[in-house]
Amino acid sequence: MTEKKTNTTHISEFDKLSIQVSLNGLSFCVLDTVDEKVRISDAITFEKERSPYGMQKGLVALLERNSLSKKTFSEVVIIHRNSLFSLVPKSLFNAENLANYLKFNSKMLATDHLSFDELDNLDMMNVYIPYMNVNNYIYDLYGEFTFKHNGSVLLETLLKGNATETKPICYVNVLHNQMDVAIISHKKLLFYNSFKFNSKEDFIYYILFTYEQLKLNTEKTALKLFGNIQKDHELYALSYQYIKNISIYTAASPLTDSHESIDFEVLNSL
């Protein structure tokens, strides 16, 4: 298990806590809502994928080692990162049919709780399966809180940052062994999906396959990578062999500019 951490400081009841949970790792950030500064952040990556309850044990340990389990916050946000989701146009959405939207592309259990997020400016709903054991633990710890799917936070943030772009852009968020791929053009979402990859060959395959399916030009269509990747990463070098218009993406946010090591969705949910 690997970890990254910023310096701790005094926690105030006016601070906001954002936590991202996945079976491959965890991260959190505490924001000082008065001065708009990050007080503390921490993250851990599991050596191998855990069960939901194994992941919860990791979360308990993460919060306790940062002395957050007995704190009071003005707001708590939980971000569920997984591939158990489906985007549904609002015109076709019915809250009574959540299982029907997921059953064809997600493994579901009879005991699974289903939820959905409304995506601002997209006219879509994101239907997904949250980790309810985590939700129950956080409720017992902090009381009322907000929870979302990581794809909801990701897409809303990318659309805001894409407001002035007139050509398609491929955004790829890399975290652990999961990659989120979004194609946005003229303030519209053309494609979004999440893939697990076990090798660099898997990684470039999903990108090139997406370009091919949407008939995007690998010489001209921009590829913007972010998350756990920088220009000296082997995945960046491999991508550059096939796509020349490539760069590292940073969201237009003062928080993101000064805390690039903190997970994208965690920062942009604050």
187: nearest Cα among 217, 165, 219: 165
pTM: 0.92
- In the predicted structure, residue 92 carries a pLDDT above the cut 80: yes
Helices (H) and strands (E) in the chain, counts: 8, 14
- 207 close to 243: Cβ distance less than 8 angstroms: yes
Q: Which two tokens stand for residue 21?
A: 């949970």
Beta strands 178-185 and 169-175 are antiparallel
Question: What average pLDDT score do residues 225-241 get?
Answer: 95
pLDDT digits (tens, 9 = 90+) for 24-51: 999 999 999 888 889 999 999 999 999 9
Question: How much is the pLDDT for 4?
Answer: 57
Question: How much is the pLDDT for 55?
Answer: 98
Q: Which domains, ranges and CATH numbers included, belong to the chain? A: 85-128 (no CATH), 156-248 (3.30.420.260)
Question: How much is the pLDDT for 256?
Answer: 53
